[in-house]
């Protein structure tokens, strides 16, 4: 049985998804305000908080979704199906622009890609019986992996890791751990993961590179990514992946820390006592993360142990503030915008990634160079947004905000008509 929703958690999720949409869709990647960019390597900007926040929130929601710890084959099936649905949604995003059919080009090809996309989205987000969900998700998963390793030219270097893929993996392990262990064991597992990851990254020599290190492309996590997923990694790095194999382990710890906070929020005690507990926890995580960063730098791409604790600490304190304002002080009038984002995260995750791909596919005449074509997204930015601003940073941010407003309107309609899409 699902417990009543915690509004502050939905608001926190909505804020995180909204921020994700803004930072992922600037008008120009060459014109971005520094807080809306990822840290170059070591360090943490506000943008670097988005991904761990979402994993933390997902972990926090687990005790609310499963307040009764009942584990059997049926429950395990539900968990693995939900995990694979999330994984496949993310994996399909990497396939969209690579789909080729019968030599089609232009709008005809785009229409066929969209038909396939909506079919996949319906299969992975549709409310079917568990049996049908199982057949569909395992079928889609098998097809996508087959294509990746089939030597078909269009798919031979398609990226396999990704944001949703990592979220799916973390959800699987965190859910099982929650159902099968007590709180003490969960924290012990998280601590073991973080300590073990640090020891491995800091002291195990890297084959072909030498001593252990935390540098870009030459660390142990990068070596493992290139060994296991060679040819199927992030196109910008090619030899390593920010959502790679080894760095997913500490991401599981992020989910576990979220579960810890979720279980505190579920305690049958006064709300003010809960507030004190999560406040102290948030401060402790933040301080320990900062201290650990002295020897294990805060780094999103490596998902270092210090990054896990630091971001979990900030997430806990953010949720603490929202919990006080919304659930204790009962001040909720301002929350609607974030609620409409927070209750439909997967539909935004998936289609906010599809839409830019669609717009970049549609070509129209460049008004400045009549012999050239420009994609629709660039056209809108260059000729509708840029002329309004003298500062390119403001123009780029405005484009992202317009996109966020577009999504807000869609999500408001979904919210009004109680359309909630769940994996």
Q: How far apart are CA 353 and CA 21, in angstroms?
A: 9
Q: Is the pLDDT of residue 28 over 80?
A: yes
Phi, psi (5° rounding) for residue 67?
A: -65, -25
Provide Rg for the chain, Cα atoms.
22
* Model pLDDT for residues 85-99, shown as the tens digit of each residue: 999 999 999 999 999
Contacts 24+ apart (CB under 8 A), 323-332: 323/6, 323/8, 323/265, 323/271, 323/274, 323/275, 323/278, 324/275, 325/8, 326/7, 326/8, 326/11, 327/6, 327/7, 327/8, 327/271, 328/271, 328/272, 328/275, 332/7
Could you tell me which of 291, 363, 279, 361 has the C-alpha nearest to residue 324? 279
Q: Is the pLDDT of residue 1 over 50?
A: no
235 band by pLDDT with thresholds 50, 70 and 90: confident
The tokens 């893929």 sit on which residue?
Answer: 165
* Model pLDDT for residues 145-164, shown as the tens digit of each residue: 999 999 898 999 999 999 99
Could you tell me which of 303, 152, 168, 161 has the C-alpha nearest to residue 232? 161
pLDDT for residue 254? 98
pLDDT for residue 4? 64
Quick one: average pLDDT of 327-332?
93
The fraction of the chain above a pLDDT of 90, given in percent, is 87
3 band by pLDDT with thresholds 50, 70 and 90: low
- H-helix or E-strand spanning residue 363: strand 363-365
**Bigger pLDDT: 235 vs 288:** 288
């Amino acid at each position: 049985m699902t417990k009543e929703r915690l509004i502050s958690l939905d608001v926190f999720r909505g804020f995180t998804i909204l921020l994700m949409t803004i930072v992922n869709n600037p008008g120009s990647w060459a014109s971005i305000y520094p807080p809306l960019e990822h840290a170059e390597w070591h360090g943490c900007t506000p943008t670097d908080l988005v991904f761990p926040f979402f994993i933390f929130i997902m972990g926090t929601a687990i005790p609310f979704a499963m307040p009764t710890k009942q584990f059997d084959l049926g429950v395990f099936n539900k968990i693995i199906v939900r995990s694979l649905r999330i994984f496949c949604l993310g994996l399909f995003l990497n396939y969209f622009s690579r789909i080729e059919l019968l030599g089609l080009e232009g709008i005809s090809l785009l229409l066929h890609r969209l038909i396939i996309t909506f079919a996949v989205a319906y299969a992975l987000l549709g409310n079917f019986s568990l049996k049908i969900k199982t057949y569909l998700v395992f079928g889609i998963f098998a097809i996508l992996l087959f294509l990746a390793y089939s030597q078909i030219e269009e798919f031979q270097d398609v990226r396999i890791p990704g944001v949703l893929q990592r979220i799916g993996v973390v959800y699987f392990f965190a859910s099982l751990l929650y159902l099968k262990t007590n709180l003490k064991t969960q924290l012990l597992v998280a601590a073991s993961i973080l300590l073990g990851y640090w020891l491995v990254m800091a002291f195990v020599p890297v084959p072909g590179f030498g001593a252990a290190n935390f540098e870009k492309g030459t660390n142990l996590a990068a070596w493992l990514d290139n060994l296991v997923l060679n040819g199927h990694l992030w196109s910008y790095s090619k030899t390593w992946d920010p959502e790679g194999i080894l760095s997913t382990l500490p991401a599981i710890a992020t989910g576990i820390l979220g579960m810890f906070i979720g279980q505190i929020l579920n305690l049958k005690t006064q709300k003010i006592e809960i507030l004190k507990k999560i406040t102290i926890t948030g401060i402790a995580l933040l301080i320990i993360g900062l201290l650990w960063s002295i020897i294990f730098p805060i780094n999103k791409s490596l998902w270092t142990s210090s990054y896990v604790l630091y971001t979990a600490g900030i997430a806990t304190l953010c949720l603490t503030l929202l919990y006080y304002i919304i659930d204790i002080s009962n001040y909720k009038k301002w929350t609607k915008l974030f609620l409409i984002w927070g209750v439909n995260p997967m539909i935004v995750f998936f289609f906010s990634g599809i839409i830019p791909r669609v717009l970049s596919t549609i070509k129209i005449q460049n008004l400045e160079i009549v012999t050239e074509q420009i994609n629709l997204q660039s056209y809108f930015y260059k000729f509708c947004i840029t002329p309004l601003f003298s500062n390119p940073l403001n123009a780029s941010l405005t484009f992202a905000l317009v996109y966020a407003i577009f999504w807000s309107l869609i999500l408001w309609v979904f919210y009004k008509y109680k359309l909630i899409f769940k994996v």
